[in-house]
Amino acid sequence: MLDREILLEKMKTSPYRPMRSKIIEARMLTDKEKFFRIELEDNTRLSYGPGQFVMVSIFGFGEAPISICSSPTDKGYIDLTVRNAGSFTNKLHQLGEGDIVGIRGPFGKGFPVDNMFGCDLVIVAGGLGIVPLRSLIRYLMHNRNDFGSVQILLGCKTPKDLLFGQETKEWMRRAEIKFNCTVDRADPDWKGNVGLITHLIPGVDINPTRTYAVVVGPPIMYKFVIAELLKKHIPDHQIIVSLERRMRCGLGKCGHCQIEGVYVCQSGPVFDYAQLKKFRGECHEKN
Protein backbone atom coordinates (compact mmCIF):
# COMPACT_ATOMS: atom_id res chain seq x y z
CA MET A 1 0.00 0.00 0.00
CA LEU A 2 2.84 2.37 0.87
CA ASP A 3 4.54 1.74 -2.47
CA ARG A 4 1.26 2.49 -4.26
CA GLU A 5 0.88 5.79 -2.40
CA ILE A 6 4.46 6.78 -3.28
CA LEU A 7 3.79 5.91 -6.93
CA LEU A 8 0.60 7.97 -6.99
CA GLU A 9 2.42 10.94 -5.43
CA LYS A 10 5.19 10.70 -8.03
CA MET A 11 2.59 10.59 -10.80
CA LYS A 12 1.06 13.82 -9.49
CA THR A 13 4.39 15.65 -9.83
CA SER A 14 5.50 13.94 -13.06
CA PRO A 15 6.42 16.33 -15.90
CA TYR A 16 4.63 13.88 -18.21
CA ARG A 17 1.30 14.28 -16.40
CA PRO A 18 -0.93 17.15 -17.59
CA MET A 19 -2.71 19.15 -14.90
CA ARG A 20 -6.45 19.37 -15.50
CA SER A 21 -7.14 23.06 -16.03
CA LYS A 22 -10.23 25.12 -16.77
CA ILE A 23 -10.65 27.83 -19.37
CA ILE A 24 -12.11 30.81 -17.49
CA GLU A 25 -12.01 33.28 -20.38
CA ALA A 26 -11.85 32.84 -24.16
CA ARG A 27 -12.16 35.49 -26.87
CA MET A 28 -10.96 36.15 -30.40
CA LEU A 29 -8.31 38.85 -30.75
CA THR A 30 -8.23 38.71 -34.56
CA ASP A 31 -9.78 36.39 -37.12
CA LYS A 32 -6.85 33.98 -36.55
CA GLU A 33 -5.73 34.43 -32.91
CA LYS A 34 -7.71 33.47 -29.82
CA PHE A 35 -6.94 34.46 -26.23
CA PHE A 36 -7.39 31.97 -23.35
CA ARG A 37 -7.17 32.60 -19.62
CA ILE A 38 -6.67 29.31 -17.78
CA GLU A 39 -7.04 28.39 -14.13
CA LEU A 40 -5.03 25.38 -12.98
CA GLU A 41 -6.58 22.55 -10.99
CA ASP A 42 -7.03 23.04 -7.24
CA ASN A 43 -6.04 26.72 -7.73
CA THR A 44 -2.43 25.63 -8.24
CA ARG A 45 -0.14 28.55 -9.07
CA LEU A 46 2.29 27.83 -11.86
CA SER A 47 5.80 29.07 -11.14
CA TYR A 48 7.34 30.38 -14.37
CA GLY A 49 9.39 33.17 -15.86
CA PRO A 50 8.62 35.44 -18.84
CA GLY A 51 9.51 33.62 -22.05
CA GLN A 52 8.74 30.08 -20.89
CA PHE A 53 6.09 27.86 -22.47
CA VAL A 54 3.68 25.09 -21.52
CA MET A 55 2.43 21.99 -23.30
CA VAL A 56 -1.33 22.28 -23.77
CA SER A 57 -3.33 19.12 -24.32
CA ILE A 58 -6.86 18.35 -25.40
CA PHE A 59 -7.54 15.00 -23.76
CA GLY A 60 -7.97 12.25 -26.33
CA PHE A 61 -6.82 14.47 -29.18
CA GLY A 62 -3.22 15.70 -28.74
CA GLU A 63 -0.99 18.46 -27.37
CA ALA A 64 1.17 21.35 -28.55
CA PRO A 65 3.66 23.87 -27.08
CA ILE A 66 2.18 27.32 -26.40
CA SER A 67 4.00 30.39 -25.07
CA ILE A 68 2.73 31.86 -21.81
CA CYS A 69 1.71 35.49 -22.36
CA SER A 70 0.78 36.40 -18.79
CA SER A 71 3.32 37.63 -16.23
CA PRO A 72 4.48 35.61 -13.21
CA THR A 73 3.07 38.52 -11.22
CA ASP A 74 -0.45 37.73 -12.53
CA LYS A 75 -1.93 35.59 -9.77
CA GLY A 76 -4.09 32.48 -10.08
CA TYR A 77 -4.10 31.99 -13.84
CA ILE A 78 -2.02 31.83 -17.00
CA ASP A 79 -2.79 33.51 -20.33
CA LEU A 80 -2.24 31.90 -23.72
CA THR A 81 -2.79 33.29 -27.21
CA VAL A 82 -3.14 30.74 -29.99
CA ARG A 83 -3.10 31.14 -33.77
CA ASN A 84 -5.37 28.77 -35.68
CA ALA A 85 -2.74 27.13 -37.87
CA GLY A 86 -3.41 23.37 -37.84
CA SER A 87 -5.59 20.52 -36.62
CA PHE A 88 -4.71 20.91 -32.92
CA THR A 89 -5.03 24.69 -32.80
CA ASN A 90 -8.27 24.49 -34.79
CA LYS A 91 -9.65 22.10 -32.18
CA LEU A 92 -8.43 24.38 -29.39
CA HIS A 93 -10.18 27.34 -31.00
CA GLN A 94 -13.46 25.43 -30.70
CA LEU A 95 -13.14 25.40 -26.89
CA GLY A 96 -14.53 28.12 -24.65
CA GLU A 97 -15.20 29.17 -21.08
CA GLY A 98 -15.67 26.19 -18.77
CA ASP A 99 -13.93 23.66 -21.01
CA ILE A 100 -11.07 21.54 -19.64
CA VAL A 101 -7.56 21.28 -21.08
CA GLY A 102 -4.33 19.74 -19.81
CA ILE A 103 -1.25 21.80 -18.91
CA ARG A 104 2.29 20.44 -18.59
CA GLY A 105 5.21 22.61 -17.63
CA PRO A 106 6.46 25.23 -17.56
CA PHE A 107 9.36 24.33 -19.83
CA GLY A 108 12.40 26.01 -21.30
CA LYS A 109 14.58 28.93 -20.34
CA GLY A 110 12.91 32.34 -20.24
CA PHE A 111 14.19 35.89 -20.64
CA PRO A 112 17.12 36.70 -18.30
CA VAL A 113 15.24 39.24 -16.18
CA ASP A 114 17.72 38.95 -13.30
CA ASN A 115 20.55 40.06 -15.61
CA MET A 116 18.38 42.93 -16.86
CA PHE A 117 17.90 44.40 -13.40
CA GLY A 118 18.66 48.13 -13.52
CA CYS A 119 19.20 48.11 -17.30
CA ASP A 120 17.38 49.80 -20.18
CA LEU A 121 15.30 47.57 -22.46
CA VAL A 122 14.41 47.75 -26.13
CA ILE A 123 11.69 45.24 -26.99
CA VAL A 124 11.21 44.42 -30.67
CA ALA A 125 8.14 42.35 -31.57
CA GLY A 126 7.17 41.16 -35.02
CA GLY A 127 3.68 39.76 -35.57
CA LEU A 128 2.94 36.87 -33.24
CA GLY A 129 6.20 37.62 -31.39
CA ILE A 130 4.26 40.02 -29.18
CA VAL A 131 2.66 36.99 -27.48
CA PRO A 132 5.65 35.80 -25.39
CA LEU A 133 6.84 39.41 -25.11
CA ARG A 134 3.53 40.38 -23.47
CA SER A 135 4.67 38.26 -20.52
CA LEU A 136 7.90 40.27 -20.26
CA ILE A 137 6.18 43.63 -20.77
CA ARG A 138 3.61 42.93 -18.05
CA TYR A 139 6.42 41.78 -15.74
CA LEU A 140 8.35 45.02 -16.37
CA MET A 141 5.26 47.11 -15.69
CA HIS A 142 4.58 45.29 -12.43
CA ASN A 143 8.23 45.83 -11.38
CA ARG A 144 8.79 49.16 -13.09
CA ASN A 145 11.23 50.60 -10.52
CA ASP A 146 13.63 47.68 -10.99
CA PHE A 147 14.50 48.61 -14.59
CA GLY A 148 15.66 51.59 -16.60
CA SER A 149 13.97 52.97 -19.69
CA VAL A 150 11.65 50.70 -21.67
CA GLN A 151 11.09 51.12 -25.40
CA ILE A 152 8.67 48.87 -27.30
CA LEU A 153 8.76 48.53 -31.08
CA LEU A 154 5.90 46.52 -32.59
CA GLY A 155 5.39 45.54 -36.21
CA CYS A 156 2.61 43.62 -37.93
CA LYS A 157 1.28 43.10 -41.45
CA THR A 158 -1.88 45.21 -41.24
CA PRO A 159 -3.75 47.12 -38.49
CA LYS A 160 -6.30 44.30 -38.20
CA ASP A 161 -3.45 41.91 -37.28
CA LEU A 162 -2.51 43.96 -34.22
CA LEU A 163 -2.84 41.86 -31.05
CA PHE A 164 -3.73 43.19 -27.58
CA GLY A 165 -5.08 46.44 -29.02
CA GLN A 166 -6.40 47.82 -25.72
CA GLU A 167 -3.14 47.03 -23.95
CA THR A 168 -1.03 48.69 -26.64
CA LYS A 169 -3.12 51.85 -26.14
CA GLU A 170 -2.24 51.68 -22.44
CA TRP A 171 1.46 51.30 -23.30
CA MET A 172 1.20 54.41 -25.47
CA ARG A 173 -0.36 56.41 -22.63
CA ARG A 174 2.28 55.52 -20.03
CA ALA A 175 4.80 58.33 -19.74
CA GLU A 176 7.64 56.05 -18.58
CA ILE A 177 7.37 53.79 -21.65
CA LYS A 178 8.15 54.71 -25.25
CA PHE A 179 5.96 52.77 -27.68
CA ASN A 180 6.08 52.78 -31.47
CA CYS A 181 4.15 50.61 -33.93
CA THR A 182 4.40 50.07 -37.67
CA VAL A 183 2.43 48.06 -40.24
CA ASP A 184 3.47 46.67 -43.60
CA ARG A 185 0.20 47.77 -45.23
CA ALA A 186 -2.06 50.49 -43.85
CA ASP A 187 -5.82 50.85 -44.09
CA PRO A 188 -7.65 54.20 -44.47
CA ASP A 189 -8.01 54.59 -40.68
CA TRP A 190 -4.36 53.91 -39.80
CA LYS A 191 -2.53 57.00 -38.55
CA GLY A 192 0.77 55.39 -37.55
CA ASN A 193 3.98 54.29 -39.25
CA VAL A 194 4.01 52.23 -42.44
CA GLY A 195 7.02 50.09 -43.28
CA LEU A 196 9.30 47.40 -41.89
CA ILE A 197 10.07 47.31 -38.19
CA THR A 198 13.77 47.75 -38.95
CA HIS A 199 12.97 51.32 -40.03
CA LEU A 200 12.10 52.18 -36.41
CA ILE A 201 15.42 51.10 -34.89
CA PRO A 202 17.74 53.87 -36.18
CA GLY A 203 15.63 56.47 -34.38
CA VAL A 204 15.83 54.73 -31.01
CA ASP A 205 18.12 56.38 -28.46
CA ILE A 206 20.29 53.62 -26.95
CA ASN A 207 23.09 53.53 -24.40
CA PRO A 208 24.64 50.23 -25.55
CA THR A 209 26.57 49.50 -22.36
CA ARG A 210 23.38 49.34 -20.29
CA THR A 211 20.79 48.17 -22.84
CA TYR A 212 19.27 44.76 -23.42
CA ALA A 213 17.43 44.27 -26.71
CA VAL A 214 14.80 41.50 -26.72
CA VAL A 215 13.63 40.37 -30.15
CA VAL A 216 10.83 37.92 -30.98
CA GLY A 217 9.20 37.46 -34.34
CA PRO A 218 9.44 35.50 -37.60
CA PRO A 219 12.89 33.89 -38.01
CA ILE A 220 13.68 35.91 -41.16
CA MET A 221 13.16 39.10 -39.14
CA TYR A 222 16.05 38.30 -36.79
CA LYS A 223 18.74 38.74 -39.44
CA PHE A 224 17.76 42.31 -40.26
CA VAL A 225 16.73 43.46 -36.76
CA ILE A 226 19.93 42.12 -35.20
CA ALA A 227 22.00 43.87 -37.91
CA GLU A 228 20.38 47.19 -36.93
CA LEU A 229 20.94 46.55 -33.22
CA LEU A 230 24.60 45.75 -33.83
CA LYS A 231 24.93 49.13 -35.55
CA LYS A 232 23.87 50.57 -32.18
CA HIS A 233 26.87 48.72 -30.63
CA ILE A 234 24.76 46.57 -28.29
CA PRO A 235 26.98 43.64 -27.15
CA ASP A 236 26.12 40.20 -28.53
CA HIS A 237 25.22 38.80 -25.11
CA GLN A 238 22.75 41.65 -24.55
CA ILE A 239 20.73 40.87 -27.69
CA ILE A 240 18.13 38.29 -26.69
CA VAL A 241 15.94 36.22 -29.04
CA SER A 242 13.43 33.39 -28.73
CA LEU A 243 13.49 30.34 -31.02
CA GLU A 244 10.28 28.34 -30.89
CA ARG A 245 11.50 25.59 -33.15
CA ARG A 246 9.44 22.44 -33.78
CA MET A 247 9.03 21.61 -30.11
CA ARG A 248 6.97 18.51 -29.36
CA CYS A 249 7.59 17.12 -25.85
CA GLY A 250 9.15 19.94 -23.81
CA LEU A 251 11.54 17.50 -22.16
CA GLY A 252 14.30 16.99 -24.72
CA LYS A 253 13.19 13.41 -25.38
CA CYS A 254 11.74 13.51 -28.91
CA GLY A 255 14.61 15.41 -30.56
CA HIS A 256 12.42 17.47 -32.91
CA CYS A 257 13.77 20.78 -31.64
CA GLN A 258 17.47 19.87 -31.74
CA ILE A 259 19.89 22.32 -33.35
CA GLU A 260 23.48 21.06 -33.58
CA GLY A 261 23.12 19.05 -30.38
CA VAL A 262 21.21 21.75 -28.50
CA TYR A 263 17.63 21.02 -27.42
CA VAL A 264 15.69 24.27 -27.85
CA CYS A 265 12.95 23.16 -25.46
CA GLN A 266 15.50 22.87 -22.62
CA SER A 267 18.44 25.18 -23.40
CA GLY A 268 16.03 27.72 -24.93
CA PRO A 269 13.75 28.84 -26.38
CA VAL A 270 15.53 32.03 -25.25
CA PHE A 271 19.11 32.53 -26.42
CA ASP A 272 21.44 35.50 -26.69
CA TYR A 273 23.04 36.44 -29.99
CA ALA A 274 26.44 35.14 -28.90
CA GLN A 275 24.84 31.67 -28.65
CA LEU A 276 22.76 32.15 -31.77
CA LYS A 277 25.79 32.80 -33.98
CA LYS A 278 26.90 29.20 -33.39
CA PHE A 279 23.76 27.83 -35.07
CA ARG A 280 24.94 28.63 -38.61
CA GLY A 281 21.86 30.31 -40.03
CA GLU A 282 19.32 28.20 -38.14
CA CYS A 283 17.66 31.35 -36.79
CA HIS A 284 16.66 32.29 -40.34
CA GLU A 285 15.08 28.92 -41.09
CA LYS A 286 11.30 28.81 -41.02
CA ASN A 287 9.97 27.01 -37.91
- Please give the pLDDT value at position 44: 66
- Please give the pLDDT value at position 82: 96
Distance CA 95, CA 59 (A): 12
Per-residue exposure over 262-278, b if at least 16 CB sit within 10 Å of its own CB, e if not: bbbbbbbbbbbbebbee
Confidence of residue 42 (pLDDT cuts 50, 70, 90): low
- Please give the pLDDT value at position 286: 39
DSSP 111-148: --TTTTTT-EEEEEEEGGGHHHHHHHHHHHHHTGGGS-
Poorest-confidence range of 17-31, 64-78, 186-200, 265-279?
A: 265-279
- Please give the pLDDT value at position 216: 95
- Please give the pLDDT value at position 40: 86
Q: What is the CATH number of domain 120-284?
A: 3.40.50.80
Looking only at the bridges linking them, the beta strands covering 100-107 and 78-83 are unpaired
> Are 218 and 209 a contacting pair, CB within 8 Å?
no
Distance CA 212, CA 236 (A): 10
What is the pLDDT averaged over residues 8-37?
Answer: 83
φ, ψ for residue 144 (rounded to 5)?
Answer: -60, -35
Spatial neighbors of 153 by CB under 8 A, at least 6 apart, are 122, 123, 124, 125, 180, 181, 182, 197, 200, 201, 204
What is the pLDDT averaged over residues 223-232?
Answer: 95
> Are 11 and 17 a contacting pair, CB within 8 Å?
yes
pLDDT in tens, 188-198: 888 888 999 99
Q: What percent of the chain has pLDDT over 70?
A: 89
The winner for highest mean pLDDT among 9-13, 32-36, 251-255 is 32-36
Centre a 10 Å sphere on the Cβ of residue 1 and count the other Cβ atoms it contains: 5
- Please give the pLDDT value at position 261: 75
Query: pLDDT at residue 54 above 80?
Result: yes
pLDDT in tens, 114-170: 999 999 999 999 999 999 999 999 999 999 999 999 999 999 999 999 999 888 888
Which of the two residues, 45 and 142, has the higher pLDDT score? 142
Q: What percent of the chain has pLDDT over 90?
A: 64
- Please give the pLDDT value at position 7: 43
169 sits in which H/E element:
helix 165-173
φ, ψ for residue 154 (rounded to 5)?
Answer: -125, 130
User: For all residues of the chain together, what is the average pLDDT?
Assistant: 87
Query: pLDDT at residue 213 above 90?
Result: yes
Tell me which CATH homologous superfamily contains domain 2-106.
Translation factors (2.40.30.10)
Distance CA 3, CA 58 (A): 31
- Please give the pLDDT value at position 3: 57
Domain regions of the chain by residue span = 2-106, 120-284
Query: pLDDT at residue 245 above 80?
Result: no
Distance CA 191, CA 205 (A): 23
- Please give the pLDDT value at position 43: 61
- Please give the pLDDT value at position 281: 53
